[in-house]
Structure 1
Amino acid sequence: MYKLLIVDDEMFAVEGIEVGVDWLKLDFTEIHKAYNAAQAKKIMLGNRIDIIICDIEMPGENGIEFMEWVKERFPGIEAIFLTCHADFKYAQRAIQLGSFEYLLKPVEFEVLGKTVEKALGKLIIERKTKQLIDDNLQYFDLWKTKKPVLFERFWQDLFWQRIIPTTNHIESALASNLMPLSIHSKVLLIMLSIEQWGKKLNSRDEEIMEYALRNAAAEMILGELPGQVLQDRNGVHFVLLYADDSHKPTVTFEQIKKNSKSYIDACSKYLFCSISCYIGEWVSLHTVWQSYNILLQMEHNNVTLSKSILFSKEQPGTQQALQLPALFEWSELMELGKTDELDRLAINMFGQLRKESNVRSETLSTLYHALLQTIYYVLHKRSISVQAIFANGEALDQALAIRSLDQLQDWTKRIFRMVTEHLIAVERGSTVVDKVKYYIAEHIFDEISRDDLAVCVHINSSYLSRLFKKEAGVSLTDYIVQERMKHARDLLIHSDEMISNIAKSFHYTNFSHFSKMFRKYYGMNPQDYRKQFYKELPSKRN
């Protein structure tokens, strides 16, 4: 199955490693041995090696130098270094080369075996992920040029209420977008929340993997059922099931749950990601935007469950929740200081409530507490005391706020404006996105994940990705790459550091990939860029 290369100038050390670990149990069918770098290179050129165990201290070309040669030519290999000395410089260089582990001699064979097993697991995931990306690449490019633009535009506009939810407006939009639905159709939304990838992906590969996820959802959740899988403007993935109002839906919630469970398991096993499914209820086209917002809010509130299936109908207060605002969006707009957008949401929400026949005092009380909880959430996240804004407490008087629908609307507009203006005044220039950008700048030479950034600003990682893209106009992954390329450019023109070392300092073990990314931002490869601009520095000319 797999091939191992052991490199050490001590013959007894090589023989000991060969017999000290049950390699067949770990699926290694070939064990290659080398006693210096030259022998090891010859073996590498003639065999497809998977894992290398390499001593660092060897006469002539040492293990570090040998692995530099390996990484330039065989980037998809995992390496484990062995050394007699706990030398920090060795450890630092080993990390820069992307080695899986750095072990001190004499190493216990049990420890070595477990380390190799973990390295092999990482290698398998990376190779399968690459294969998935390669397999889906041509179809992904085709999808980008041929995707059903009209269908997606219809749903985007309906979700964001760009289509006014009245019969006439919806019927007109159905016709103009060639939708295979009628005004009487019912829709059920399933939100696919990507929680974590099994390995770090660049923005291009992540797009391709998300495309594979949508294909899998179409096959495993939709199957032969009428519907569609799409990605909204914020990058959130949805499965939409269609049903005609003339008869009951042809699929039960139990079957939907079963399909979703199979999908979650398959994503974990074959696509190497953790994913949860948030399942709404059958709704009309007039109210599908409410179901959309409820699922977003469910995801936002879920901080404990992973790889789960959650039904909106099982959430506390679901019947009333259909009339609640999209709190996810409200909290986001507060943090962005967009008072006009908040006013628009309030007008739409209260306008919809006025059309309802069953709005009672309990409804107003529930809505009051939901809005108040949203305010408390934002203030707590920003470490701002409630008393700092509402000193006398009168503004929060529930009895005054819920006497009527009109009074609650006035209260909502006034309170949210107060909080938003206070956030702007107190934290001018210190938004979530600013904090994320500062963290990236301070850790530009470190491995940075979306989860690291989410912990930094104390919010859900999926929410952070959408918030960052909405405010910064670029995805988190692309921004990190962009900043790294800026620093790489500075190093090219302000230092004599080897270009390969510059690439490695930003965790690019594949030099061609680094060169490709640099060319994307600066229009030429790193070598040509240094040739053109390095000599123009005044400090270099004097």
Structure 2
Amino acid sequence: MIEVLLVDDETYVTESLELTIPWEEIGVSVVRRAASGAEALAIMEEEAVDLVVTDIRMPGMDGLQLIEEIGRRWPGVRCILLTGHSDFAYAKKALQLRASDYVLKPVDDDEFVAAVSEAIDSLREEWDEFDKVHRLLYSRKSDYKVLRENLLHELLLGRELGPQALSEQFSAYELPLRAGQPTLMLLARLEGRFAAMDAPSLELMDFAAGNIAEEVLRGQPLWHGSGPHGCLVLLLQPGESGGAAALHETARGLDRRLDTLREHIRLYLKGEISLAVSSVFELGGSGPAAAYRRTLGSLYAAGIGGRTVYADPEADDRTGSGSAALPSAAEVRGGVAELMYAPPTLLHLLESHQWEEARSKMSGVFEAAERAGLAGPSMYEIYLWMTNAFLFISHREGQPVGELGGDEGFDPVLARGLVQHPQRLRAWGVGLLDSLARQMASSGGGEGRSKIVSRVRQLVGTGLDGDLSVKTLADQVFLHPVYLSKIYKAETGEALGDYIIRMRMERAAHLLRHSSKKIYEITGELGYQNPQYFSKMFKKQYGMTPNEFRELS
């Protein structure tokens, strides 16, 4: 609503206008009165006045002087002049001072209402334009966020832009960096309590961490945004003092501000971050993508645990910030992979409905991965290991995977967030396991033939190193071997003999990969008497002899 101030040294004029004009009908909510220019200015300093109606001739400050002062101090306020003089000089001066209108005394109510209404309409049009501009600016800023993130992802994933094209993009998106200049890349992975957050919350934390980095690293041009692999990316260029030498010091582990950054994240966001710092590179061409690949590899190799690692070979290992030598990625992954693929496999445990054993195996893998500090691609392997087993068993048992829940893990976009945060991935896998167990129980998975099949699979899993055959299995479930084979084939679509061979060959493959046992020793351990027969069965399963398999592994 509009607020109006009436100014006239003849108070009966302002009193009459206040009482006789239908202010509410024309959109005015408050009417105030002043008897002089000085009083009017005092009121305007305290109240939000939108329209001033003032007499020209007043003692002290006259109306023309008043609207001139108002125009200087409150340019958005509209002014209407009242006077008993129709002198053209007054009208000319009023126009020069950009008064909205000029009304002669004695005041005609209709004429006055028309002048005030026109001024109000003008105000509202201006306000609408102002709102429109601000909405456009807000929309533009929102679009900038998306455009900047897209540009960042393109540069990190290999798009090569020349200095001129890149400079144009930086200018268009109002980014503080300059193409062709020495640049340093920092990758920050949020850990600890951040791992349990959903994607929108993580995006807010990335933004907050980026703002903290701007404060800690102030004095140097900085661009930060969410990277394509779930990390916060910070691109830093030389400031006015220090130049490129300061960047090289940061790249070599001599910049204590990175310790301050981690401390501030811990203090203000209540979480941990791991940092990876690139070598200095030139911003443009293939430089950003090459630096990103090397630095991301360093971050993944470092694992989790709030470390700071450096891709620069000249980095000072005495920083005490976690940049000491680490086990190779292959060594770390190998130990976890041995747990993943050691018999009984996860698939076998799910097939045989050994839910607690499956939970124990998954927990063991995640605990080993956590101890080793695995992240990134290695966690993706664990994700695929679980996903393949769940998908296979859900189709085998006629349980649509969509009914198991865990939609997050089967969405290509959302799954990326799971892989980046081991705790969330573990919770997702355990939740899917519990859902599958409930579905199988509610569908009668523990009754009749299914119960027999489940028991057979358990026996196969525990008896691979003994005298295992269809007959010995039939004896243990008190059924004739032929009848047991028919039940198993009807329930699973796979012959029981083929299943026994498959389980034995998976065990053999594991021993070939992860032990130094001789072929004849493995043959005897799996219950085969003839190494040549064992080799023949292995080649039928894997398309190569055991020796060839071991050499490739």
TM-score, structure 1 as length reference: 0.35
